[in-house]
Chains A and B, each alone.
Chain A
Amino acid sequence: MHNIYIRKVEVRGGHAQNTVIYTFHNVSQFWTFSPAAFLAQPVYSRDYPPCRYCA
């Protein structure tokens, strides 16, 4: 479980840094999904999830 930081690259004095603009606290690898339901899905791959909106 981790905090997940949303970072935006800012350049200050020529130095690029990842400035934290938002924090999600205590994020599990299953996010808000039920672990059982998550694990019942296939692992993410080249074809999963399928690209339903690709022309």
Chain B
Amino acid sequence: MARTLTRRALLTRGALLAGAAACGLGTLRSLVYAQGRAPIRIGFIADITGTVAQSGRDMLDGFQLYLAEKGSAMAGRPVDLVVEDAAGVPANALTKARKLVEQDRVHILTAPLLASEGYAIRDYIAERNMPTLFAVCSADDLTQRKRAPVIIRTGWSSSQPSHPFGEWVAKTLRYKRVATIGSDYAFGYEVVGGFQRTFEQSGGQVVQKIWAPLGTPDYSPYVTQIRRDVDAVFSIPVGADAIRFTKAYRQYGLKGRIPLIGGGVLMDESLLRGMDPADAEGTITALMWSAALPTPQAQRFVAAYRAKYQKDPSYYAETNYSGAQWIHAAVEHIDGKVEDREGCCGPSAPCSSPTRREVRCGWTSTRTSCTTSTSAKSRSGAAMRRTR
């Protein structure tokens, strides 16, 4: 197979190798061992321009941090990371996926950021039998009604945090009437839908649903529509929209009058950096990550990330750091033979997230994704335990 190395990949790899040089002799030893062996090519579709650029940048930073820590080598083979920017546009994501698979001949692909981008590449990667890591892209149906053997989801499903959150808001906060405002595409629908389902099952009522396009430049027309006779507003704007929405929410006098709650990415660390703290303070959201998690694994990761990038790691960074570890575990499991597609997902090799800890399953014998391979029985009765 002819080796194609783009200029960007060369620069990326060069940067990784430079970073790795600071990681000690153990890392250097693996680097030396990896010399002379054919590289493993990982295609990384990032959204590092456009509305979700800040979050997309964090995805890349998280992935590259892990590679740097490992000397950019897996199973004795060097790793070439080939990065392409889809700018948060589904049609671009499909174009970039085709380029990475057919021109760059990558062995493994990582999915882009947006749910709509994930749905856009789904049929293509399934047809090409291309193992693809979904660390961020959370479109529900990719591991539900449209699951495929090559889809490896180490991240989440959009509605996954919303289900417990809806129940918690009704039972703990005792809110009865909620208005929702969400981003007008698949991710917004799934986050709001999951919340509405369990909130209403627990006695609450969603009395208004507003949708705003991704990339809304001015939230004034939407914020002014929000009903004032509700107990709370559940919101899920995405990317820079979250900054603009929370700004408008305070400017129009809702902040302090109607509690703001929402999906986790509303207050993701990649966006908190750009918010006025007064816009954000007090907002309650649900997600599987927080940079303030007190666990040793999380704190070690947070410290390493801050040292390298001088910013708090967002969920986008954490889940890509973890995703890189999952790829590494899988590559080691098959002794680096990434060209062997049939053997790539053999007997389960359980590993856990280095930061969140309780991701349980590995690459399964049926090659289904992580989240679909968990049984309903294993979670029953264990869902709710208070930590503080």
Q: Which A residues form the contact surface with B (CB < 8 A)?
A: 1-11, 14-32, 34-35, 38-39, 43-46, 48-49, 51-55
Contacts and interface: CB of A to CB of B under 8 A. Distances in A.
A38 B197 CA distance: 11
B196 A32 contact: no
A8 B284 contact: yes
Given A20-B292, A20-B387, A54-B208, A45 B193 contact: yes
B280 interface: yes
Contacts of A55: 207-208
8 contacts: A4-B160, A6-B284, A11-B280, A19-B292, A27-B288, A29-B143, A43-B190, A46-B189
B193 A48 contact: yes
Given A3-B356, A6-B168, 5 more contacts: A1-B359, A9-B280, A28-B374, A28-B376, A44-B189
A29 B144 contact: yes
A39 B11 CA distance: 44
Nearest to A41: B197
B384 A24 contact: yes
Contacts of B284: 6-9, 21
Contacts of A46: 184, 189, 211
B383 A26 contact: yes
Interface stretch (B25-33, B61-69, B101-109, B198-206): B198-206
Size class of B's contact patch?
Answer: 35 or more
Most buried by A among B264, B277, B285: B277
A7 B387 contact: no
Nearest to A46: B189
B198 A17 contact: no
B378 to A, nearest CB: 7
Nearest to B283: A9
Contacts of A2: 156, 160, 288, 356, 358-359
Contacts of A23: 385-388
B287 A43 contact: no
B310 interface: no
What are the 7 tightest A-B residue pairs by CB atom distance, in nearest-first order? A44-B193, A31-B163, A2-B288, A29-B157, A18-B290, A53-B205, A23-B387
Nearest to A32: B383
B38 interface: no
A17 B208 CA distance: 29
A16 B290 CA distance: 12
Contacts of A30: 376
Interface string B165-178: 10010001000010
Nearest to A53: B205
A9 B282 contact: yes
